[in-house]
Chains A and B, each alone.
Chain A
Amino acid sequence: MSKLEIRFAGSGGQGLILSGRLLFQAVVLDGKRAAQSQSYEPTSRGGFCNSDLVVADREVDYPLVTAIDYLIALDQIGVAPSAAMMAPGALVLTDARLVPEPPEGDITLHQLPFTDEAIALGSHRAANVVALGTLVGLSGICDRQAVGEAVREGTPKAFLDLNLEALRRGFEMADELDQGEPDGKVVRL
């Protein structure tokens, strides 16, 4: 069975669980099987939060991540708990402002201004969706249209325009990285 493991890590309140849920919807729309899980601390704001996704071509046997292929870290607090779970060669996207000490090891790391871009679009709260767009743009885990549809279906009306803008910005950031003109620092370890 071929499978992919994805983790959105950071601090409670950053919309990580929503990102995981949106990506789940998108990959299921794309015809894949998936399981999305979450772990968090009793404090609902602050404290670490992981939102995990296992994507497979058939039914997911064990639904939790064991070797992460894609890590999106939006806050420093999310980095340490994932360190021992990275698959070799994993793609790691971290927030340039909120993750001063990104993970190290056999990974491909992009430090990107998710939060700054979200602020430029109107609210830091959209950083999770900027990151989601970048991840989908870079990885091709699912169709861009599918994640767009998931965002449209899964976002409350008041945030829909902002989230769609954030997603588009995420796609652009992925394209800029692909063209070798990254917004952030690119480190290959």
Chain B
Amino acid sequence: MTAGMANLHGNHACALGAIAAGCRFFAGYPITPSSEIAERMSRELPLVGGTFVQMEDEIASMAAVLGASAGGVKSMTATSGPGFSLKQENIGLASMAEIPCVIANVMRGGPSTGMPTRPAQSDIMQARWGSHGDHPLIALAPASVKEIHDQTIRAFNLSERYRVPVMVLFDQVIAHLLEPIELPAAGSLDLVERRWANGDDGYQPYAAGADGIPAMTRPGDGHRTHTTGLTHAEDGFPTQDPDTVTRVMDRLLGKLDQHGQDIEAFECHDTKDAEVLVVAYGISARAARRAVRQARERGIAAGLFRPITLWPFPEQALRTAADQARSVLVPEMNAGQLVLEVERICRDEVRVAGLNRVDGQPIEPSQIARRIEEMAADD
């Protein structure tokens, strides 16, 4: 696609964002409502010298993505529902072996097969904790077709810079939404390329400098390296020495905190004097935006805090946005997931409540508007 205005579906915007970011390998297994990402990649990747593989299942897809990325190619997969569950073990391997990769997950109604064609936002906690063990990762939640495109590019940048799996979480509604978007010119993008080790005899694959991010070695460059899911020391070989394990795990789990400012993205609307603060993401944030605007028109001091990065959660930014708030409302298409994080951050200062739907229907602006009015009246 050339630069300029384009009418795109969310899923197609994801695929084109990936290509623009330099993704040249996609492995996946089609699943509603994410299939159009794979479909578009299968058409686009060969045109830019990339590789598309439809694997036998989601487990193998994730493994193929890690293999390709370890081989030096920006790589991604896309999935939904049960497919996301199947990818979790290898997502943990990506966190542990610090292999950059991007996973688009189009959330649909669950659990299990659930409602394949209906939207949900019920993988928020699975995105964070679906793989076992303490592990670093980043999750982004775009709210429009344009933002799917841009945050997919950003997902690759963050993944390559910090050597972590990055998830792009959206839902069936925006995945299948058609909106006009402005595609940037190819040369205008700020793309992050992986930092490769060079020419040092003493190369240790997991030794990091002050930024906490080790340089990778490109296969064939001549460095000795070792990649494993076992807990490993700086030399890449397994260890259970408590001091060493503490040191390497501190770095692994601390590296995103160190770069929080670059990673945590969010948007504030009318939060400065907001007495009722709505915290919403994805399609629910667009409903909240209208509800907050309507509340303001009726003289209620409402505001919207929209985290774009869900994990790690922009904690300090939320504290600032909630500074004047007496109550916080968290609308989400699940039984109450991100609200737990918001409660953890805000509960000492304000009353936090969820507004939840698990019926496969999007939350409507009028539902949020009603709750804002009730909360304003209670204060």
Contact = CB atoms under 8 A, between A and B. Distances in A.
Contacts of A40: 117
Given A28-B180, A62-B289, A64-B364, 9 more contacts: A24-B178, A35-B178, A37-B176, A60-B179, A62-B286, A63-B144, A63-B283, A64-B173, A66-B366
Nearest to A37: B177
B40 interface: no
B142 interface: no
Residue of B174, B179, B289, B362 contacting most chain A CB atoms (<10 Å): B179
Interface in A42-67: 42, 60-64, 66
B180 A34 contact: yes
B177 A61 contact: no
Contact of B290 (A20, A33, A35, A61): A61
Contacts of B144: 63
Given A37-B177, A38-B176, A62-B290, A28 B117 contact: no
A42 B366 contact: no
Contacts of B289: 61-62
Contacts of A63: 144, 173-174, 177, 179, 283, 286
B7 interface: yes
16 contacts: A20-B178, A34-B179, A35-B177, A37-B173, A38-B176, A42-B32, A42-B116, A61-B290, A61-B293, A62-B286, A63-B174, A63-B177, A63-B283, A63-B286, A66-B364, A66-B366
A41 B173 contact: no
B212 to A, nearest CB: 39
Interface residues of B, number: 23
Interface of B is mostly: mixed
Interface residues of A, number: 21
B117 A42 contact: yes
A40 B174 CA distance: 14
B99 interface: no
A33 B286 CA distance: 16
Contacts of B365: 62, 66
Residue of B173, B176, B180 contacting most chain A CB atoms (<10 Å): B180
B118 interface: yes
Interface string B167-197: 0000001101111100000000000000000
Given A25-B7, A64-B362, A66-B366, A36 B177 contact: yes
A169 interface: no
B117 A35 contact: no
Contacts of A41: 117
Contact of A36 (B178, B287, B290): B178
Interface string B259-300: 000000000000000000000000100110110010000000
A64 B177 CA distance: 9
Nearest to B172: A39
Contacts of A39: 117-118
B177 A28 contact: no
A10 to B, nearest CB: 16
In the complex, the 10 A-B pairs of residues with the closest C-beta atoms, listed nearest first: A36-B178, A62-B290, A61-B290, A62-B286, A35-B179, A37-B177, A38-B176, A42-B116, A61-B289, A62-B365
A72 B178 CA distance: 19
Contacts of B118: 39
A4 to B, nearest CB: 16
Contacts of A60: 179
B7 to A, nearest CB: 6
A110 interface: no
A62 B7 contact: no
Nearest to A21: B178
Interface string A53-86: 0000000111110100000000000000000000
B183 to A, nearest CB: 15
A170 to B, nearest CB: 22
Nearest to B118: A39
Contacts of A66: 364-366
Residue of A34, A41, A61 contacting most chain B CB atoms (<10 Å): A61
A42 B118 CA distance: 9
A97 B283 CA distance: 37
B306 to A, nearest CB: 12
Contacts of B286: 61-63
Interface in B176-225: 176-180
Nearest to B113: A42
A36 B293 CA distance: 22
A112 B222 CA distance: 74
A21 B311 CA distance: 35
Contacts of A24: 7, 178
B360 to A, nearest CB: 9
A53 to B, nearest CB: 9
A42 B290 CA distance: 30
A11 to B, nearest CB: 14
A32 to B, nearest CB: 10
A86 to B, nearest CB: 15
A70 B289 CA distance: 25
Contacts of A36: 177-179
